[in-house]
């Protein structure tokens, strides 16, 4: 069954703890945390302090999506704050193996993120060393954008490679995921669906999660 990772970017930050508990009760599998630095993307969100603050609130894995330049500088802080997954954008990494090894050195699962226009060739040679590939289906920076369907063939191609090699690598999708687009992602091989506005902009988060999962 596909896993659902609500993105707290669309939550009410004035009651973040309660917003996280609400999706945990609603059947979420991970909590997706969007970190933006105002350089790699045109928005600023949250840092390690917030990850540290929400860590005791939930037993769910914290899936920390770093949309920042020079991620190596901040990986130790996010790892110590309690991240379970840290994903870095291939477009922001000059020495990707080094960055992946740095994440893993803290016992944290490592993932690589591809923007919609980035080809899978950029990660083919590192696929055996990572735990997750995150496909952006919007250009990162904001919640509530429209799904870019041309990413799907790329996802399908990598999913086939992962199956052929018998690897244990999650395929996560982020951006514009809703009840309709979720189906397309699962068909293309996605194993984790991130959803921000489709979960948090509804009153019944349990129902929203069930619909995205396809129940």
> Where in the sequence numbering do the catalytic residues fall?
34, 174
Whether 197 has a binding-site annotation, put simply, is yes
135 vs 52: CA distance, rounded Å: 26
CB nearer to ligand DX5: give 48 or 175. 175
Region from 18-26, 52-60, 121-129, 172-180 binding ligand DX5, contact rule CB under 6 A: 172-180
**How far is residue 190's CA from residue 172's CA, in Å, rounded to a whole number?**
6
Q: How many CA atoms lie within 13 A of 117 on its CB side?
A: 3
Among 27, 76, 82, 141, binds ligand DX5 (CB under 6 A): 141
CA dihedral 175, 176, 178, 183 (to 10 degrees): -70
89 a known binding residue?
no
Instruction: Give the one residue of 19, 34, 63, 131 binding Zn ion; rule: CB under 5 A.
Output: 34
Residues 31-50, one symbol each (x = binds ligand DX5 by CB under 6 A, - = not), give -x-x----------------
Task: Tell me whether residue 59 is annotated as binding.
Answer: no
| Closest separation in Å from C-beta 32 to Zn ion | 6
**The two structure tokens encoding residue 81:** 């704050």
Distance CA 11, CA 72 (A): 27
Q: Which of 48, 71, 176, 189 binds ligand DX5 (CB under 6 A)?
A: 176
Strand ranges (DSSP E) for 37-120? 62-67, 85-89, 109-114
Residues in contact with 167: Cβ distance below 8 Å, sequence separation at least 6, in sequence order: 127, 128
Nearest distance from C-beta of residue 40 to ligand DX5, angstroms:
10
| Contact status: 175 vs ligand DX5 (CB under 6 A) | yes
Pairing of strands 3-6, 192-195: parallel
Cβ neighbours for 149, distance < 8 A, ≥ 6 positions apart = 137, 181, 184
Query: Quick check: 89 binds Zn ion (CB under 5 A)?
Result: no
Residues in contact with ligand DX5 by the rule CB under 6 A: 7, 9-10, 32, 34, 65, 138, 140-145, 174-177, 194-198
Residues in contact with Zn ion by the rule CB under 5 A: 34, 65, 174
Binding site membership: which residues?
7, 32, 34, 65, 141-144, 174-176, 196-197
């Amino acid at each position: 069954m596909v896993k659902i990772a609500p993105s707290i970017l669309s939550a009410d930050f004035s009651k973040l703890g309660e917003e996280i508990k609400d999706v945990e009760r609603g059947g979420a599998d991970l909590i997706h945390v969007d970190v933006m630095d105002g350089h790699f993307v045109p928005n600023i969100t949250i840092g390690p302090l917030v990850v540290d603050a929400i860590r005791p609130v939930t037993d769910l894995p914290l899936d920390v999506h770093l949309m920042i330049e020079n991620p190596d500088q901040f990986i130790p802080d996010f790892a110590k704050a309690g991240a379970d997954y840290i994903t870095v954008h291939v477009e922001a990494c000059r020495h990707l193996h080094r960055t992946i090894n740095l994440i893993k050195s803290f016992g944290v699962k490592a993932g690589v993120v591809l923007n919609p226009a980035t080809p899978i060739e950029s990660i083919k040679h590192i696929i055996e060393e990572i735990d997750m590939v995150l496909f952006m289906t919007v250009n990162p920076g904001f919640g509530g954008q429209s799904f870019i369907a041309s990413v799907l063939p790329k996802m399908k191609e990598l999913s086939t490679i992962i199956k052929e090699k018998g690897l244990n690598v999650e395929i996560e999708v982020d951006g514009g995921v809703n009840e309709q687009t979720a189906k397309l992602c699962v068909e293309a091989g996605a194993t984790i669906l991130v959803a921000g506005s489709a979960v948090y902009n509804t009153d019944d988060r349990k129902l929203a999660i069930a619909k995205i999962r396809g129940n």
